Structure 1
Amino acid sequence: MDYRKYVILLFIVLCGFQKLKAQDNGFMVADSTSAALSKAGNWQEMINYGHQTLAAGTDFPGLRLRIAFAYFITNNYKEALAEYNRVLQKDAYNQTARYYAYYSANFLNNYLQASYNAGYLDKGTLRKEGVSPFGLLDMGVESGEKFVSSSRRGNGFYTHGGFSNRLGWRLQLEQSVIYYNQDIINRIGFGPRSDRYKLSDDQIEYFAKLSYMLNQNFTLIGSYHYLTTKYNSTIYRSNLWLAGIKYQGTDVDLQGDVNFGDIIKQPITQYNAKLTYYPSGNLNVYTISRLSDKYLKSKDHFIFNQAIGFKIVKNTWLESGVTFGSQEDYLDSDGLYVYNSVDNTKFKFNETAFYQLNIHAQLRLIYTYEQKADAYFPINYNQNSLTLGFLWKF
């Protein structure tokens, strides 16, 4: 009976040896074939072959890196990041994966994710790329005028300046100062001899936003917005906060957050859910969908914003957006923009043109159309705005 045990054991060993040999052969074929496809620059074929090989059960870092680079070189930065991340899950200090993950995130304008990956690069690479854990990321200004079709309102003037900087590889700070002014002209009575009086709506604002990257996919967000509003000889001070979390996925980014605080002595709470979709894995085409539930003056207001951006020619992008719902005291862009003008906006359409002058400088032109409701009389009117912006990336 003992010899049977040895025969069975020998059979198991031989089977295991054959399996290992088959795996060895599979690795060697996949390694040589993927190397040849990469060397020849057959990027789409490399991607297809790589995924077929993975589906067949052969998986190793070299194959993942070649698939990722094929995505990177064909400008699909989202898929490239996903593949580099799979390599980094097993080897957090793989310098090739970190280097290209850094640039993939940069090309998606996700500077915090880029910084997170830069934190794992060796000192020589950091010096070569001129990257440090502290320093300015960008600085910009924008200014515009709002042209009003109502004789009861003067044109509005808006200006905004701000900058963002690293406070560490995982921490980023954005700060802005904003000024807004508009004359409000009303009547006492309705007859031809009724008295007219003019009020000035002046507002000065400060905004700060902190973003902390937990890992390659999740980011914590917090912001604070302070407003000083002078209206009808009265000064109002408002404080608004935001807390949220963002998930960076392969094809989509998801964000959930809540705004809360007080605005012109009114408590406000606004819950937001945002989805950003990259169908081609880059900024050549993208969509942003945002749904908000705003609780103000004991009522819920649902607001929906939909935007689509696309590259039209070299260095030029357009982004079109519409916003539906009552936008009284609506909070947008992680609490940066506060729509608390005297009159409520019921519908908004905006068109933004981006032109990249060079690797550092970007021009921005924004046109906005709004349907407004007079706060004191049952009158609707239109408002058209033009804003010019300039951004410098360090």
Structure 2
Amino acid sequence: MFDKQRNVTIRGFDSLSDSYRLSQMEVYLATAITLNKYFVFEPAFRWVKVSFPYPFVNYDSGSATYFIPGIKNNFNDYVAGGQFNCTVPYFDVFAGAWTSRYENNKQTQASLGIMWRPLGSLNLYTTSIFSMVSIQRKSNFLFYQKAGFRLTDWLWTELFASFGDHTGTSAFNARVFYNLSDRLNFYGGGKFIVPLSDNLTLTFNYQWSNSEGRSFKILPSGERKFSVYEYQNQIITGGIVWKING
């Protein structure tokens, strides 16, 4: 859950402020089906329930004309699909397709990617992924690039970047779902990977992103004026991955 604050000023008329809570619950299911020594199929499904009040609950009779009473918005978003992986010496090739719904918008996505290990190991590797997203007879293209290499005996690093409109898209076989109202145009960053043992890995991640949002204000005349604004986010995360051997 996230606690947020909204403020709106109607110049020369009124000022409104509202606190609200956004809640999101997610379920992710995936498995790997080995077809032979080269091919693996990985079906995946992600369900996301988002709930938040919108727009303002306004108790000021002087501006009630301009803002409707607050209502509860509930969205049941999902991604369903899967990808085929083919592993051969020095290369991994993968292709997949998914259908998704976010905020009652439906779209389809197809991706083709390749991972190249020029040394035959993870001491040096690159990953390139091309995606096409279709929604209401319109197509959008995405490109993701990652490069990883070993710095020392105990430290690996990765650099990555992704370009295109990511709104409503998914990545890494639905492990990530951008069910956003704002338009995410670019993100990039880096990761440090520290293996602690055969089963434990420590990671540190940094990501910078550039997005566009939309806002509107209601003028005293009753006219609605929409505008687009740009903003950037920086995220620093870290964690421990524990691999359980079956």
Residue of structure 2 in register with 1:338 after alignment: 177
Unaligned runs of 5+ in 2: 54-71, 216-226
Instruction: Summarize the alignment of residues 15-30 of structure 1 with structure 2, pairs less than 5 Å apart.
Output: none
Q: Larger helix proportion, structure 1 or 2?
A: 1
Instruction: Encode CA deviations 1:55-113: one digit per residue, 9 max, x unaligned.
Output: xxxxxxxxxxxxxxxxxxxxxxxxxxxxxxxxxxxxxxxxxxxxxxxxxxxxxxxxxxx
Q: Residues 230 and 317 of structure 1: is their aligned pair in 2 closer, same or farther, counting only changes over 3 Å? A: same
| CA distance, structure 1, for counterparts of residue 79 and residue 9 of structure 2 | 34
| CA distance, structure 1, for counterparts of residue 142 and residue 5 of structure 2 | 26
Q: Residues 191 and 271 of structure 1: is their aligned pair in 2 closer, same or farther, counting only changes over 3 Å? A: farther
Structure 2 counterpart of 1:187, which letter?
A: V
Residue of structure 2 in register with 1:256 after alignment: 95
Residue of structure 1 in register with 2:30 after alignment: 209
Instruction: Summarize the alignment of residues 216-295 of structure 1 with structure 2, pairs less than 5 Å apart.
Output: 216-232=37-53, 233-295=72-134
Question: Which has the larger Rg?
Answer: 1
Residue of structure 2 in register with 1:185 after alignment: 6
CA RMSD of aligned residues (A): 1.9
Greater shift after overlay, 329-338 or 227-236? 227-236
TM-score by length of 1: 0.52
Q: CA deviation at 1:245?
A: 1.2
**Secondary structure, counterpart of 1:374 in structure 2:** strand
Q: Does 1:361 align with 2:200?
A: yes
Q: CA deviation at 1:301?
A: 1.0
Q: Does 1:323 align with 2:144?
A: no
Instruction: Encode CA deviations 1:332-358: one digit per residue, 9 max, x unaligned.
Output: 110011012332211111211111112
- Check conservation: 2:34, 2:40, Cα contact below 8 A: yes
Residue of structure 2 in register with 1:349 after alignment: 188
| CA distance, structure 1, for counterparts of residue 34 and residue 158 of structure 2 | 27
The counterpart of 1:382, out of the listed 228, 232, 244, is 232
- Check conservation: 2:5, 2:17, Cα contact below 8 A: no
Instruction: Encode CA deviations 1:19-61: one digit per residue, 9 max, x unaligned.
Output: xxxxxxxxxxxxxxxxxxxxxxxxxxxxxxxxxxxxxxxxxxx
Count of residue pairs the alignment pairs up: 215
**Secondary structure, counterpart of 2:166 in structure 1:** coil
Residue of structure 2 in register with 1:314 after alignment: 153
| CA distance, structure 2, for counterparts of residue 242 and residue 186 of structure 1 | 40
- Check conservation: 1:329, 1:340, Cα contact below 8 A: yes
- Check conservation: 1:241, 1:260, Cα contact below 8 A: yes
Identity %: 19
TM-score by length of 2: 0.81
The counterpart of 1:197, out of the listed 18, 26, 50, is 18
- Check conservation: 1:369, 1:383, Cα contact below 8 A: yes
Unaligned runs of 5+ in 1: 1-179
Q: Residues 209 and 182 of structure 1: is their aligned pair in 2 closer, same or farther, counting only changes over 3 Å? A: farther
